Amino acid sequence: MYGWRMRIGLLVPATNGVAEQEYRRLADHVDGVAVFAARVPCPPGRISKQWERDYGDGCLGAAERILSVEPDVIVIANTSGTLMNADRKLAEQVHKATGVKTIATIQAVVDSLKRLHVRRLGLVTPYNDEFNQEFLRYFAAARFKVVDLQTQNESDILSIGRLRPEVAYSLARRLSGKFDGIFISCTDFRSIEAIPLLERDMHVPVISSNLASFSEALLAGGIRASLQGWGRLLERPWESD
């Protein structure tokens, strides 16, 4: 049986080709933890607020499907989707419908930054300006200071998933100003390989959407795991409070 210690259920946009792969790479380093995914119907095309609202509409159906593998924790694996649907409290809706602990990616990011005592933030995204402005407003409301923002300025959903980790690395290296941590946004932006390199080269903690939500999923499931080589957050996350 896979997941004899813990099973993580991902609710992934149908177009996302990164989240499952990064989660499984991380889970391979934690004995007895397995990852299963259900896809939320989402058409390819231009990313927009309406696209993200439609994703929110499809989450409950995907949550019902993931129940068939009896997950211990469900993760809504969409950063902008959980941000754009924050008013709808998607995690609460999914938890109420399934009875399973549920994590929203954007909240996992906030919690992870707090664990690392980050308040002055360098922000890296693949998004266009419309979405970047939403993130700036969100972090300001959460009492983070975004010192600098670097973006790939992509609007096509499938193009984001094709970006390589060196793009994330390069964008982060362009950040300027006095920040005490870096967040690389988007569960469909491949970046976990860049995180340990950035921490070594820039001397600050670095997290991504998938790294943060994976860490929070382990904590929610009561799993104490120390993962080396993937950045400070996963080394001993339960001691970061």
CA dist., res. 114 & res. 134, Å (int): 20
Same fold, 6-106+210-236 and 108-208: yes
pTM reported for the whole predicted model: 0.94
Both tokens assigned to 145: 């200071």
pLDDT, tens only, 178-235: 999 999 999 999 999 999 999 999 999 999 999 999 999 999 999 998 899 999 999 9
pLDDT, tens only, 26-44: 999 999 999 999 999 887 7
CA dist., res. 184 & res. 238, Å (int): 22
CATH topology classification for 6-106+210-236: Rossmann fold (3.40.50)
Q: How far is CA 11 from CA 78, 153, 183, in A?
A: 8, 25, 21
Strand pairing of 120-125 and 101-104? unpaired
Could you state, in order of their start, the residue ranges of all structural domains in the chain?
A: 6-106+210-236, 108-208
CATH for the 108-208 domain, from 3.40.50.1860, 3.50.50.60, 3.50.90.10, 3.30.420.40: 3.40.50.1860
